[in-house]
Chain A
Amino acid sequence: MSLALIVALPFLGAVLPGLAIRAGRTAAAAATGAVTLLAFLLLLSHAPAVLRGEVVQTRIDWLPALGLNATFFLDGLAFLFAGLILGIGLLVILYARFYLAKSDPMGQFYSYLLLFQGAMAGIVLSDNILLLLIFWELTSLSSFLLIGYWKHLPEARQGARMALAVTGGGGLAMIAGMLILGNITGSYDLTVILQNKQAIQASPWYLPALILILLGAFTKSAQFPFHFWLPHAMAAPTPVSAYLHSATMVKAGLFLMARLWPVLAGTPEWFWIVSTAGLVSLVMAAAIAFFKDDLKALLAYSTVSQLGLITMLLGFGTKAAATVAIFHIINHAVFKAALFMTAGIVDHAAHTRDLRRLGGLRNLMPVTFGIALLASLSIAGIPPLNGFYSKEMMLAEAAETVWITPWAMGVLATLGALFSVAYSVRFLAHGFLGPVREDYPHQPHDPGPGLWSAPAFLAVLIVVIGLFPMATAAWLVNVAAGATTGQPVAVGIYLWPGLKSAALWMSLAAVGGGLMSLGAYPRLRARWDAAPRPDAKRLFDGIVEPAAALARSVTEGLHNGSFGRALTLAVLAIAGAALWAFSGAEHLAGTRAGLTATPAPIALWAVMLLAALATPVLHRRRLTALILTGVVGLLIAPLFMLFSAPDLALTQVSVEVVTILLMLLALHFLPKETPAETPLPRRLRDAGVAGIAGLGIGALAYAMMTRAPAFAPISQYHLAQSKPGAGGTNAVNTIIVDFRGYDTFGEIIVLGIAALVIFALSETLLRSPSVVARLASTPRKRESGDRHPMMLVVSTRLLLPMAMMVGVYIYLRGHNLPGGGFVAGLVFAIAYLMQYMASGYAWTHARQRFDHHVLIGWGVLIAALSGVGAWFLGLPFLTSGYAYVTLWPLEEFELTTAAIFDLGVFLSVLGAVLLTLASLSRLALRQGERANTRAYDSEGDR
């Protein structure tokens, strides 16, 4: 359970910063930090087991038949990554508290950060690959929010979009690849997939799966040729860059390659694709980084290059190389996060990140300089810092690898290392060394400890790992690399490789060459600037813009803001598809014996036909059209009655009354006539479209009714179980309150929400000055002689208790005879609405002692409680029970929990209907309708 909790905690905690921000920015940061710390401690509680080489698992079955389960597992590799995500996360939270400006919405920032953190933890802990894919896409989404955090900057929005398009697109490819893997092995659990190396590599689908998965990994880890999004993502606030673009998100691709290494690696395809992409990224990005002036751009390309190094090592496919890759993942996370934070501090202090405008900061910002010095020398691979070891071991592996020729890999890897030295030394030399300048945009000085303590902690790690690699890092590398490769690993990390080691000489060449390049920087830069280079952003835009234009033209062609056009197209498209399907097969006439028509239904049908046909003809007079609509609706009720659906007939009558009342009230605010504005051809065309739809639906209905059902209806079960299972003889009611109680429960909630939406909308309307002015200026016509006709007032008041009695009766008998909560609620509602109509809204409302909102709430609550009750008996939600009770002087009667549920339905329906109508009535009050003060007001009260 606790593994699921590690993943769930950041998601659950994501609401906290938004709430805590009201208590100040430190509170928000503390809340975020507390959530992360808790998750981190939970993770650490598993450390002993992981170090023993055990695999911790958590399994929550959801849809086992579809392979959809929330399964998590924690081994050495997952432990390493989860530790990085949560550990660096803590430092970033601290750093961000002091980095973000007062005007930045910090609560939002931390919420996004926690969402991202949860998604990352989900990726590394997921056992089920489908679950992993969901978390994978969640990181793309949450990183979109983080990169675009400064929404007002166009480059932030563009960078966020590009990152989302590239990494999200790669994720889609990966979904396909993962599904292929699942198909080959017959399981979506990683733990099973990882056991099936032979089956996967022998499958003809191995190469497609490999390419698709690598597309996902390369896009996420910004590997050539998908590296271009990362520099653009630097528009993000620096804490985001330090977190996402050095330690975590860009490493998700590496994680996946490491995770699937046991089953995917070791083939020539893997070697060529992965090591080549890694090598190209390593050398090319390091070279570009050397020529970047923006500190963060330099670091971004440096990240691409370093990730390339790790990718290349994973590509080699040997246990030793994979071990070095794991070691370098740790080192890179430590020094790169420190460097990003340093760049942020410089930006903060000097108000620029441009190397051409910096220099001489050594004396002005000594603390920052110390951190930068350690971190960049570590990248450069200078002993005895942590970066030295993994670079040395990388060069040793590269020297032994044959790629095209025996020496090409070694030479190119050395070249990459050379550029790494060059850019890291340039970062130092052009940023911190040299004379103090006079023209900084802002006079720089060291920030407070809040800002530098996080990178300083990382700088300490750089030195400690560098001095005592075997004590501090080797154990972690061993368990993580052991989990990656599936074989026991005992790494040896030594400072002195020996004079015979090729890596030593390669390293020396790299350092010497790097320093020489820096010396020749002005000349190299001139040549670099003169050389033609493809602009990745322009290429990307060249693809995206036509695609967006195409999408826009399709959308606007279908929907240009005209509802009629969209509806016409939809009707014609559906009709066309139906016709196409129909003409593709042979058809026989239906053979089911029908009912013979009797005079009464024929008469009913004729009246309905007339009313329906008259509506479009007379529709411009809205009141007439409304009355005709009501006639049609009311005539449907006897139709239901005739065809053995008394419950439907009751519901139809009562809903129809309420609906017509609502529309009458609404018509009060709307124009009473529809102007004649469509020319005859247009009307004929519309009639044609409507005719096609009507003919199609009518034919479909006829074809359906003249045939027996294709499958035996499942309602035989409901009929058979209605009495013994649900304790009621009305099968329709038992389905609603018992068999399909869950649906009904959802439904009353929807109804309640609809009523609340209406209330909220009317509230908003009343708050708009222009709406209120328009309401007040609408002339009120005198529509009748009496404001509240005496006969109506008296009779409705007399009717109220009787209607309620009928409502209670309908509710009580509903379980066994036609009726039930829905109808009873509507009957009650109509009884109240009659009072509104007769005595006026204000008068009636003042005499109601209950609030409509509360009614809806109670209804839903009672329905829920009646369902929850089943839990105490160990039964699923909404399992009903019933008992027969004898209570003197009554006869034996039945008590069912379904009746309580139905009471909830009743209350919700009543509340929803009353709230809806009351919301409209409030608009009318605002229009200047005076409330009557006396019980009976007549002409004199006007």
Chain B
Amino acid sequence: MEALLASAIGLLTAVGIYLMLRQRTFPVILGLTFLSYAVNLFLFASGRLAVNAAPIIGLTKPYADPLPQALVLTAIVISFGMTAVIMIMAIGGYLSAGHDRIDLDRGADE
């Protein structure tokens, strides 16, 4: 199971980075979303995997580590806020400039 999750995290990272290397705002934001998935899963995995061990006191012992869970819970919410801010910036950029390219005009890549 660990290998499954690790490979998923790796793949999500790769997809995220690839999309972030695109030239337009929308794919870059999608890439950022993928990267957030990967990071959240990675942080979550730092508590190690456990099944049927929800950290609810009184249920079955042992409990899964609740700390990474609390951390990731807030991270998920914050990443929504971050995505939303970038989104409005992308919209603003497109509406003001008339295009949605992310690079500055000077020194275009290669």
Contacts and interface: CB of A to CB of B under 8 A. Distances in A.
Contacts of B58: 723, 729
Interface string B29-52: 110011001101110111111111
A616 B22 CA distance: 10
Contacts of B48: 592, 705, 708-709
A125 B9 CA distance: 55
Interface string A562-580: 1111011001000000000
Given A562-B103, A592-B48, A636-B37, A701 B14 contact: no
Given A643-B51, A644-B50, A694 B25 contact: no
Interface residues of B, number: 92
A669 interface: yes
Contacts of B79: 655
Interface stretch (A69-77, A115-123, A751-759): A751-759
Contacts of B40: 636
Contacts of A697: 9-10, 13, 38, 42
Given A605-B8, A765-B91, A732 B55 contact: yes
A597 B107 CA distance: 50
A731 B77 contact: no
Interface string A762-774: 1011001011001
A200 B60 CA distance: 63
Given A697-B9, A743-B74, A913-B80, 8 more contacts: A645-B69, A674-B27, A687-B18, A694-B13, A715-B67, A722-B57, A731-B66, A750-B78
Contacts, number: 332
Contact of B92 (A671, A761, A913): A761
B74 to A, nearest CB: 5
A558 B102 CA distance: 16
A913 B55 CA distance: 28
A interface residue count range (under 10 / 10 to 19 / 20 to 34 / 35 or more): 35 or more
A626 B48 CA distance: 30
A651 interface: yes
Nearest to B21: A686
Contact of B30 (A626, A678, A713): A626
A430 interface: no
B22 A736 contact: no
B12 A758 contact: no
B33 A645 contact: no
A747 B76 CA distance: 11
A823 to B, nearest CB: 9
A217 B60 CA distance: 67
Contact of B94 (A562, A613, A669): A669
Interface string A674-690: 11011000100011011
A715 B51 contact: no
B95 A775 contact: yes
29 contacts: A560-B109, A567-B17, A567-B20, A594-B2, A612-B34, A622-B26, A629-B30, A629-B33, A642-B51, A643-B44, A643-B50, A644-B51, A644-B54, A655-B79, A663-B83, A667-B26, A670-B25, A678-B22, A689-B17, A693-B13, A694-B13, A696-B10, A700-B42, A701-B5, A719-B55, A723-B58, A751-B81, A757-B88, A920-B91
A690 B74 contact: no
B18 A644 contact: no
Contact of B6 (A564, A571, A702): A702
Interface in A705-729: 705-706, 708-709, 713-715, 718-719, 722-723, 729
Nearest to B94: A670
A690 B28 CA distance: 13
A695 B13 CA distance: 9
Contacts of A556: 107
A615 interface: yes
Interface in A616-669: 616, 619, 622, 625-626, 629, 632-633, 636, 639-640, 642-648, 651-652, 655, 658-659, 662-663, 666-667, 669
A626 B42 CA distance: 23
B78 A644 contact: no
A704 interface: yes
The 10 closest A-B pairs by CB, nearest first: A698-B10, A694-B14, A561-B104, A702-B6, A754-B81, A690-B18, A731-B66, A562-B109, A560-B107, A595-B1
A685 to B, nearest CB: 9
A366 interface: no
B3 A702 contact: yes
A594 B102 CA distance: 43
Nearest to A669: B91
A729 B57 contact: yes
A615 B15 contact: yes
Given A594-B2, A670-B26, A694-B17, A731 B56 contact: yes
Contacts of A84: none
Contact of B76 (A655, A671, A701, A913): A655
Interface in B63-99: 63-67, 69-70, 72-74, 76-85, 87-92, 94-96, 98
A817 interface: yes
A596 B51 CA distance: 11
B56 A765 contact: no
Contacts of A771: 92, 95-96
Nearest to A909: B77
Contact of B77 (A594, A655, A714, A774): A655
Contact of A595 (B2, B13, B41): B2
Contacts of B54: 644-646, 818
B73 A651 contact: yes
B27 A648 contact: no
B56 A670 contact: no
A775 B98 CA distance: 11
A913 B21 CA distance: 28
Contacts of B109: 560, 562, 564-565
Contacts of B65: 713, 715
Nearest to B42: A701
B95 A765 contact: yes
A699 interface: yes
A747 B18 contact: no
Nearest to B96: A771
A601 interface: yes
Nearest to B108: A562
B25 to A, nearest CB: 7
B95 A596 contact: no
Contacts of B19: 615-616, 619
Given A561-B106, A615-B30, A690-B21, A662 B87 contact: yes
B103 A647 contact: no
Contact of A613 (B2, B15, B52, B69): B15
Nearest to B17: A690
Contacts of A571: 17
A730 interface: yes
B95 to A, nearest CB: 4
Contacts of B66: 715, 718-719, 722, 731-732, 735
A593 to B, nearest CB: 10
Nearest to B58: A729
B18 A670 contact: no
B81 A561 contact: no
Contacts of A698: 6-7, 9-11, 13
Contacts of B16: 690
A674 B27 CA distance: 8
Contacts of B67: 713-715, 718, 735
B5 to A, nearest CB: 7
B107 to A, nearest CB: 4
